[in-house]
Amino acid sequence: MAQRVAHEVSSYHPCIGTSRAGRCSPLKEPKHTRAGKGGVKTRALLWPSPLRGSPTWRRAVHIGQSNHPSHSSARAARNVALATALEETPPATPTAQLDRWANIEGGDQKPPLLDMNRGPRLRHLCVDSHLVDSLEYDITCDVRSPGEYEEDRVLGAISTPVLDDEERARVGTLYKQRDPFHAKKVGSALVAANLSKIIEEHFMDREKGEKVLVYCWRGGERSLSLAHTLCRIGFDVTLLQGGYRAYRQQVMRFLERCGEFNYVIIAGRTGSAKGKLLDSLQASGAQVLDLEGAASHRGSILGQDPATNFTQPSQKLFDSRIFHQMQYFETSRPVFVEGESSKVGIRHVPQAIWMAMKVAKVVEVHVPMPARVAWIRAGYEHFETTHVSTLKKHLKVLARKRGHETSERWISQVEEGAWDTFVQDILENHYDPGYAAAGKRDRDGPVSTLTLQDTSDDTYAQAARDLMSEYSP
pLDDT (tens digit per residue) in 396-412:
999 988 999 999 999 99
Is the pLDDT at 46 greater than 60? The verdict is: no
Q: If pLDDT is split at 50, 70 and 90, which confidence band does 177 have?
A: very high
Residue 208: per-residue pLDDT: 95
pLDDT (tens digit per residue) in 3-35:
443 343 333 333 333 333 334 444 344 444 444
Question: Residue 471 carries which DSSP code?
Answer: H
3-state class of 366 per DSSP?
A: strand
Query: Could you give the angle at the alpha carbon of 191 between the alpha carbons of 116 and 184, nearest 5°?
Result: 75
Is the pLDDT at 67 greater than 80? The verdict is: no
| Mean pLDDT value across the chain | 81
pLDDT (tens digit per residue) in 364-423:
999 999 999 999 999 888 888 888 998 999 899 999 889 999 999 999 999 999 999 999
pLDDT (tens digit per residue) in 209-259:
999 999 999 999 999 999 999 999 999 999 999 999 999 999 999 999 999
**CB proximity list for 246: less than 8 A, separation 6 or greater:** 127, 218, 219, 240
Residue 435: per-residue pLDDT: 86
Residue 82: per-residue pLDDT: 53
Domain boundaries, the chain: 2-104, 123-250, 257-471
Strands (E), 80-198: 123-125, 139-142, 158-159
Residue 198: per-residue pLDDT: 97
**Nearest Cα residue to 244 out of 202, 214, 210:** 214
Using a pLDDT cut of 90, give the percent of the chain over it.
Answer: 63
- C-alpha 135/C-alpha 209 separation (Å) is 16
Least reliable range by pLDDT among 76-80, 167-171, 344-348: 76-80
Is the pLDDT at 90 greater than 60? The verdict is: no
* CATH code of domain 257-471: 3.40.50
pLDDT (tens digit per residue) in 91-127:
555 555 555 545 554 555 566 665 656 667 899 999 9
Least reliable range by pLDDT among 49-53, 266-270, 466-470: 49-53
- C-alpha 102/C-alpha 72 separation (Å) is 21
- Maximum mean pLDDT: which of 43-57, 62-76, 99-113, 329-343: 329-343
With residue 64 as reference, give the H or E element that holds it: none
pLDDT (tens digit per residue) in 32-42:
444 444 444 44
* CATH code of domain 123-250: 3.40.250.10
Residue 209: per-residue pLDDT: 95
Average pLDDT on 186-197 reads 95
Antiparallel, parallel or unpaired: β 58-63 and 41-46: antiparallel
- The catalytic position among 24, 141, 216, 231 is 216
Residue 130: per-residue pLDDT: 93
**CB proximity list for 447: less than 8 A, separation 6 or greater:** 267, 361, 362, 363, 364
Q: Indicate if 258 belongs to the active site.
A: no
Is the pLDDT at 303 greater than 70? The verdict is: no
Count of helix runs (H) and strand runs (E) in the chain: 19, 15
Q: If pLDDT is split at 50, 70 and 90, which confidence band does 45 have?
A: very low
Residue 171: per-residue pLDDT: 92
Using a pLDDT cut of 70, give the percent of the chain over it.
Answer: 73
